A and B are shown apart, each in its own frame.
With several copies, the nearest count.
Chain A
Amino acid sequence: ESCGHITISVPIIRLGDPVTASCTISPTCSKLAQEPQILWRLQDGPNQPGDSQRHLGDGSQESTITLPHVNHTKAFLSCLVPWANSFQVLDQAELQAGYPPASPSNLSCLMNLTTNSLVCQWEPGPETYLPTNFTLKSFRSRTDCRYQEDSILDCVPEDRQSTCSIARKHLLLYQNMVLWVQAENVLGTSESPKLCLDPMDVVKLEPPVLQALDISPGLVPRQPGCLWLSWKPWKPGEFIEQECELRYQPQLRGTNWTLVSHLPSSEDQFKLCGLHQAPVYTLQIRCIRSPLPGLWSSWSPGLQLRPT
């Protein structure tokens, strides 16, 4: 039977809150002086007496201490007694402090057509200093997200990541689903606002590959200030009807982009005229699912060309 035993009101508390602990020395603790003065030590701080020490009916001694503001996220509280010309640690308790999780924010998702998974990410919120589990929860809702149908397997992110991928087999494409993030630790639980989306409406499209067409002069009369281009849609997104826009800019300081909108997603021969002959032009293209809802792809890498 050990000599001393610490009990703590709440082992894990909110940072800055008070905590009360008591240390009881059992009478059977033969080696000790009759009524030893029980001392406390937080981490490797000074030994300090408790707020009060009293005699319990069964002959044991109990000291109680209240730490007004715990500001260590993790600390050890030891109970000691003087012994010979030193001290003896009789018991030690672990104190943890932190915050309940704030609501995760900025939840956004993209459908990745290469891995065929819905990848969501979020802001976890301020540090809680406590082990906190984040879970991406979702359920299917075929109508406008008001009614929950079968829920989907919880998506648990890799350690400390604020992103999670829902595999294709858990997705019902072309139907709405509701997603949110739940954060949980010892001190509480919180949830992000809910997202309602059809995975196919948040497809991450890649831009087409823009290519210069070398039109042999014989075939087509050489018009000055023109360029011939072609592009093909990004293969994995080929089945998606898209609309594209082209922008071009002479490589001169201070010039702006000129935009050509409502272009098809595939073009074998596109003639672009009205360009100055001298400078090299930078051209880029991007596409968006249309007429169905979608997200713009990024701009394609710049293509440098000199007009005829």
Chain B
Amino acid sequence: PPSLPWPRSFLLKSLEQVRKIQTRNSELLEQLCATYKLCHPEELVLLGHSLGIPKAPLSHCSSQALQLTKCLHQLHSGLFLYGGLLQALAGISPEVAPTLDMLQLDVANFATTIWQQMETLGVAPTAQPTQSTLPTFTSAFQRRAGGVLAASHLQSFLETAHCALNHWV
């Protein structure tokens, strides 16, 4: 296989963290569906536009056009963005809160793994990114719908990340 762009242990740890977050994230989606009957993210697209729920790009991580440093930056910025989004969902409900808390911690820890790898490679930005403006939710429904949208965007983000990382293992 092509020579590894990153140390194998970093790749293996990152893949494990992606799987850990994916498992937790689908748990969150299942709970939001079971508890609030919000089971179809595609039915919340309009609301997503009005709330301004962002999607994080991973264009530099596709196997066809992989650019290592930019891929790491996109991975970190995406995780940072989704970490902030999940934080904005705090207080969503007692049933979902434990899963949401764990998910936030797992996303933050994975962002640290990426950041440390950038530092090791000497390509880390000079300062940690600052959180862009996050959506504000004016009702319990908006917060729950925002949770479904954020989680489904995160799921596809992780899918792309898993493919990119898996390509090199």
Interface residue ranges, A against B (CB under 8 Å): 1-3, 29, 31-32, 43-44, 76, 78, 80, 83, 86-94, 116, 142, 168-169, 171-175, 200, 238-241, 291-292
Contacts and interface: CB of A to CB of B under 8 A. Distances in A.
Interface in B12-66: 12-13, 15-17, 19-20, 22-23, 36-39, 42-47, 49-51
Contacts of B106: 173
B43 A89 contact: yes
B23 A89 contact: no
Contacts, number: 93
A175 B23 contact: no
B163 interface: no
A94 B13 CA distance: 42
B47 A90 contact: yes
B140 to A, nearest CB: 7
Interface of B: 9, 12-13, 15-17, 19-20, 22-23, 36-39, 42-47, 49-51, 101-102, 105-106, 109-110, 112-113, 116, 138-142, 144-145
A85 B49 CA distance: 18
B113 A239 contact: no
Contact of B12 (A3, A173, A238, A292): A292
Nearest to B18: A239
21 contacts: A1-B50, A2-B142, A43-B37, A44-B39, A76-B37, A83-B46, A86-B43, A88-B44, A89-B38, A89-B145, A92-B37, A142-B112, A142-B116, A171-B105, A173-B106, A173-B109, A174-B13, A174-B16, A200-B16, A238-B23, A241-B15
Contact of A89 (B17, B44, B109): B44
B43 A88 contact: yes
B30 to A, nearest CB: 13
B139 to A, nearest CB: 8
Given A174-B16, A292-B16, 14 more contacts: A3-B46, A44-B37, A76-B37, A89-B47, A90-B47, A92-B36, A92-B141, A168-B105, A172-B109, A175-B113, A175-B116, A239-B22, A291-B12, A292-B13
Contacts of A43: 37
B9 A292 contact: yes
Indicate the member of A2, A32, A83, A241 with the most B CB atoms within 10 Å.
Answer: A2
A169 B105 contact: yes
A90 B46 contact: yes
